[in-house]
Amino acid sequence: MGNKTKGLLALVGLGALAYWRYNKATPEEKQAVKDKINNAKDNINKWGNDLKDKANEVASQAQSKFDEAKSVAEQKVNQN
């Protein structure tokens, strides 16, 4: 059996174990799991938005540097 097959079987086994454990959990434990998932989702969304904002800021800075260099080059061309 290859490593991929073993890894897939392990993943399926862990999923089955998690499903069984969740079904046997008390309502309080189920709510705790739901809260953790929602918290993780919120954190990922926040991280994604922060990353997008930073990328937009860098793109804006690059565009302004390009525009500045372009105007300097145009001025030098017009002087000659």
pLDDT in tens, 48-78: 999 999 999 999 999 999 999 999 998 888 8
Q: Identify the pLDDT of residue 80.
A: 65
Interatomic CA distance for residues 67 and 61, integer angstroms: 10
Using a cut of 0.85, tell me whether the model's pTM lies above it: no
Half-sphere exposure of 50 (CA within 13 A, CB side): 6
DSSP per-residue string spanning 19-53? HHHHHHS-HHHHHHHHHHHHHHHHHHHHHHHHHHH
Q: Length of the chain in residues, anyone?
A: 80
3, pLDDT greater than 90 = no
